[in-house]
């Protein structure tokens, strides 16, 4: 089942959409991954938000980050998350493919840089990303910088 997408600037998000995306991020990044960190990092206001719905469930989410916010020279895709209630259906790949296409529409088909959780390296490589630096610790979880130079999917 394909997801139903909403793609909005921060100011265009409804209160219900904002609550749902913050709840999903907290459910996975704070509770499930047992990681105490401040999720609201003052970047959301500068980003576009991609919300993927499966019926009424917010099943998948990313934020599209312009260059100069997370990385000086590259736009990025961050806070990549799928709902525990919708896992095992290939939604992560669908989410990232949609995120890449939306980023290209906004910023052109140039390079994309991300900070990926180390255990997801092969997943991101399957989408055309390559490791471009050393492993680093972010909030107790190993991450790697990755970049995608290729156009299209």
The highest-level CATH class for domain 4-148 is alpha beta
CB 63 within 8 A of CB 78: yes
DSSP 64-115: EE-TTTSSSS--EEEEEEE-GGGTTSSHHHHHHHHHHHHHHHHH-S--EEEE
- In angstroms, the CA 82 to CA 26 distance is 12
In this structure, of 26-35, 116-125, 128-137, the range with the lowest mean pLDDT score is 26-35
- Parse the chain into domains and list their residue ranges: 4-148
Q: Tens of pLDDT along 60-81?
A: 999 999 999 999 999 999 999 9
Please state the pTM of the whole predicted model.
Answer: 0.95
Is residue 93 pLDDT above 80, yes or no? Answer: yes
Is residue 47 pLDDT above 90, yes or no? Answer: yes
Name the β-bridge partners of 17: none
Is residue 152 pLDDT above 70, yes or no? Answer: no
């Amino acid at each position: 089942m394909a997801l139903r997408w909403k793609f909005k600037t921060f100011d265009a998000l409804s209160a219900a959409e904002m609550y749902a995306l913050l709840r999903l991020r907290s459910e996975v990044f704070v509770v499930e991954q047992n990681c105490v960190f401040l999720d609201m990092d003052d970047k959301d206001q500068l980003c576009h938000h991609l919300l993927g719905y499966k019926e009424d469930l917010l099943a998948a989410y990313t934020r599209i980050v312009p260059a100069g916010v997370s990385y000086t020279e590259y736009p990025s895709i961050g806070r990549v998350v799928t709902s525990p209630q919708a896992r095992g259906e290939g939604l992560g790949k669908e989410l990232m493919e949609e995120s890449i296409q939306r980023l290209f529409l906004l910023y052109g088909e140039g390079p994309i840089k991300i900070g990926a959780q180390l255990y997801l390296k092969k997943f991101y490589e399957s989408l055309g990303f390559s490791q471009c630096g050393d492993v680093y610790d972010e909030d107790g979880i190993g991450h790697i910088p990755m970049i995608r130079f290729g156009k299209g999917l």
